[in-house]
Chains A and B, each alone.
Chain A
Amino acid sequence: MLFPPPQQTGPSPRVVITGVGVITALGQGWKANAEGFRAGRVAIGPVTLFDVSRQRVKVAAQAELPEALPPTRLRPRDHRRMERAAKVLLVAAHEAWQQSGWEPAEQLPVVLGTTSGGMSLGEAYYQQAIQRPHSHGKQPTRVLHYQAQRQGQNLAEAFGFSGPVIIIANACASGANAVGHAWELLRRGHAERVLTGGYDALSKLVFAGFDSLQALSPTLCRPFDAHRDGLALGEGAAVLTLETLDYARRRGATVLGEMVGYGAATDAHHLTQPHPDGDAALAAMTEACTNAKLAPDQIDYVNAHGTGTPLNDSAEAAAINKWAGDNARALPVSSTKASIGHLLGGAGAVEAVVCLMALRGQWLPPTATLQTPEPLCNFPIVHQPTEAKLEYALSNSFGFGGANATLILRRWK
């Protein structure tokens, strides 16, 4: 049962990562993405998925989907009904599942973050409902597959397991909240393993929305640059198999890294703008460190939310300055959104995976487009490929509605 929770004796279990799947504009899979992030490759280009001729901005970081979806228990008919967001999620989940060596089971929770689920199907539904109001062809399928829970259920069908599907829609912090919630489920004894991640695909509505807010950069997405003028949208997914260390050891799994901290807080300042002092970001980072029993000076790298909008980056800089204090000057920070854009509900999960890649490879992913560092930043902004000794990495994710989330990962030796 979901409540009351199982009685726990002793300390909370350690939580490790045993499988990772990722797809972004840098490519499909760990290798392509690790190479791209390490080198600071920028994968932002013209939007071809839908018409942007009337938009102010015409670029984004589109992911290239494989010609065929990976083989799972899903039928060809299921594949045909899936839209872009469901496909990127399945691709990432398949990689993670394969790597973990997991077997299907009853009551294996899925926790996912997304902002818009199968939005392109919602768009198609609306267009047909307006343009051909008496035609119902394909509409029921669109209704079902538009909904985010369906994409979570797809994973259960694909890999043959069952369990609660939990969808967290906390705007651009969704992915981080999902991974953090999965971690908490394991720490609190609700499960021994959880499939988790975040995903979103580009869609006309969301692209137009950010464009209408003039949040998209008309030049080049340059997080933490003094002359930054907006973000670039991206798409993709990351899925992680989290399990307790005991469970991983019992089955002889290969451990990729450890998740040690999660914090979440709410910024009540404004629906779309952070408090200029970054209070909620500070609270989320502080809580994550408290959970991890770490001091800020033990964090070796921060993967910032770093969207490239003037307001986000200055608020986040203020929060990191305050949180790190005197240690800020030696704390490398970067935003990988310069490479793959902002993946919205996918961002937090993908950036957690970037941290894992950095910890495993002992390198720092650069903010490749940085030209003139924002003077508010007391910390060095990594802007070129760099080797480093890393033990702990912290990832920030913030979203509309004031959702703030922080994850901390540890290198596995």
Chain B
Amino acid sequence: MRKAIFICGVGAVSPAGWGVRALRESLARGQPLPLKELPRPGWSEPLRVRAVPPPSARPGFLSHARLRRTSPIAQQSVAAALEALGEDAARVADGSSRLGVVLCVMSGCVNYSRRFYDEVLKDPVTASPLVFPETVFNAPASHLAALLGTTAINYTLVGDPGAFLQGLALAADWLLSERVEACVVIGAEEMDWLTSDAYRLFNRRAVLSDGAGALYLKRRANQVPAVELREVTQAHLFSNRQTRAEAARRARDELGPGGPDRLLCDGLQGLPRLDRAEELAWRDWLGARLSPKAVLGEGLMAAAAWQCVAAIDALREGHYAAANVSIVGCNQQAIGAQFATNSCASS
């Protein structure tokens, strides 16, 4: 008998604001969010980005001793995770639910890494011991575990944005093997001129953004309609033997033909050179399409999470029976996932 994995909560922090509602409203409007200027040292012209706005109220979790001096990626990861967990956060804290954590990043804690290395270049003797630990990839996941009080397994995965779907498959496996009772999977990035500068080398029109998205997974549904993780395709690696287009096509083929009652949540940004492989792979798609990155910007791992959050949110609203997510990553892999409402899932 097939064992199901349900998405029991979603959370998001994005250039649209703090919360899934802000993300949903921005995507419904369909207009690219306004650009902000980000100073780039050594340049007279600033970079242009879509950054997370300040929260309307200072998040309560910042009073936790571990979170006071954390970088934006940790704070945004925690905010998205707490929104996804909802009331279950208390069950984790009181020990009645064993929660696994999977954090997925591509650039990771770049603010503090840049700051610390800058101090090292100036004089390593004065480099701050408070900053260095926050440069470590798994610092945000550690802070989240400390806040929630979970001591269960906790991985930080590094990769291109496709790693977010690898993280979902990993979490599902932990649940199926009953290693944990619940698992939160987070994709997150933080804004920094260094990342934006680096990405610009590959496409000058790309607009970087930051934030986080989180999916809360369990073996039992706690909402109606319940949304189920149906499938995560193989990770189709880009290589000398397999182009981006071929990898994208193989991921798309694994997800099946789809239909008019289905949603495709893709990673198109409106940049032809970056979009080409994915556009080709999905050109025969008959259903509706949603392209969060065209509105929110290239949020790397956060954007992969937003795609999933948007797809699940649309299913919960009852607009579709099933939704595919396509991720054709920056430099590693093409991969896809399918979510479905429970009635469709059991058909």
Partner of B142 from the list A163, A190, A283, A402 (CB cut-off 8 Å) is A402
Within 8 A of A (CB), among B15-55: 40-43
Instruction: State the majority secondary structure of interface residues on B.
Output: mixed
Residue of A nearest to B195 (CB): A143
Decide if A140 touches B141 in the complex (CB within 8 Å).
no
Q: A204-B120, A265-B152, A266-B145 are in contact. Are A143 and B231 (CB under 8 A)?
A: no
Question: In angstroms, how far is the closest chain A Cβ from the Cβ of B151?
Answer: 5
For B42, B118, B120, the residue with the greatest tally of chain A CB atoms inside 10 Å of its CB is B120
A55 to B197 alpha-carbon distance, docked (Å): 30
A58 to B136 alpha-carbon distance, docked (Å): 22
Of the candidate stretches B80-88, B109-117, B314-322, the one touching chain A is: B109-117
Q: Does B223 contact A (CB under 8 A)?
A: no
Partner of B155 from the list A133, A170, A269 (CB cut-off 8 Å) is A170
List residues of chain A with CB within 8 A of the CB of B121: 127, 130
Q: A134-B42, A205-B116 are in contact. Are A129 and B194 (CB under 8 A)?
A: yes
Q: Does A399 contact B (CB under 8 A)?
A: yes
Decide if A402 touches B145 in the complex (CB within 8 Å).
yes
For A56, A153, A177, the residue with the greatest tally of chain B CB atoms inside 10 Å of its CB is A153
Residue of A nearest to B110 (CB): A122
A5 to B331 alpha-carbon distance, docked (Å): 26
A117 to B106 alpha-carbon distance, docked (Å): 12
List residues of chain A with CB within 8 A of the CB of B108: 169
Q: Does B324 contact A (CB under 8 A)?
A: no
Interface size class of B (residues with CB under 8 A): 35 or more
Q: Does A49 contact B (CB under 8 A)?
A: no
Residue of B nearest to A132 (CB): B42
Q: Does B128 contact A (CB under 8 A)?
A: yes
Binary contact readout B122-163 vs A (1 if CB under 8 angstroms, 0 otherwise): 011101110011111111011101100111111111111001
List residues of chain A with CB within 8 A of the CB of B114: 126
Binary contact readout B210-240 vs A (1 if CB under 8 angstroms, 0 otherwise): 0000000000000000000101111111111
Partner of B159 from the list A126, A144, A167, A265 (CB cut-off 8 Å) is A167
List residues of chain A with CB within 8 A of the CB of B124: 54-55, 204, 208, 211-212
List residues of chain B with CB within 8 A of the CB of A56: 125
Decide if B135 touches A133 in the complex (CB within 8 Å).
no
Q: Does A324 contact B (CB under 8 A)?
A: no
Q: Does A83 contact B (CB under 8 A)?
A: no
Question: In angstroms, how far is the closest chain A Cβ from the Cβ of B299?
Answer: 17
List residues of chain B with CB within 8 A of the CB of A123: 117
Decide if B138 touches A171 in the complex (CB within 8 Å).
yes
Q: Does A156 contact B (CB under 8 A)?
A: yes
A209 to B132 alpha-carbon distance, docked (Å): 5
Q: Does A304 contact B (CB under 8 A)?
A: no
Q: A211-B124, A213-B132 are in contact. Are A205 and B113 (CB under 8 A)?
A: yes
A42 to B116 alpha-carbon distance, docked (Å): 31
Residues of A within 8 A of B (CB): 1-5, 54-56, 107, 114-115, 117, 122-123, 125-127, 129-130, 133-134, 136, 139-140, 143-144, 147-150, 153, 156-157, 160, 162-171, 177, 181, 184, 188, 190, 204-205, 208-214, 264-269, 271-272, 279-280, 283, 399-403
List 13 interface pairs A-B (beta carbons < 8 Å), by A numbering: A1-B232, A2-B335, A4-B3, A4-B231, A55-B125, A107-B234, A126-B118, A133-B41, A133-B43, A169-B136, A169-B158, A209-B116, A213-B133
Q: What 4 A-B pairs are tightest by C-beta distance, nearest first?
A: A133-B42, A401-B142, A2-B169, A169-B137
